Amino acid sequence: MKDQIVPCLWFDNEAEEAAIFYTSIFKNSKIGNISRFGKEGFEHHGKKEGSVMTVDFTINNQKFTALNGGPHFRFNEAVSFQVFCDTQDEIDFYWENLTKGGEESQCGWLKDKFGVSWQIVPAILPQLMSDPEKVGPVSAAFLQMKKFDIGKLLNA
Every domain of the chain and the residues it spans: 8-68, 80-155
* pLDDT reported for residue 1: 59
Q: Which residue, 57, 104, 60, 66, is CA-closest to 85?
A: 60
**CATH code of the domain made up of 8-68:** 3.30.720.100
Helix axes 15-25, 88-99, angle to 10 degrees: 160
* pLDDT reported for residue 17: 98
**Domain spanning 80-155: CATH superfamily:** 2,3-Dihydroxybiphenyl 1,2-Dioxygenase, domain 1 (3.10.180.10)
Per-residue pLDDT for the chain (156 aa), expressed as one digit of tens each?
567 899 999 999 999 999 999 999 999 999 999 999 998 988 888 899 999 999 999 999 999 999 999 999 999 999 999 999 999 999 999 999 999 999 999 999 999 999 999 999 999 999 999 999 999 999 999 999 999 999 999 999
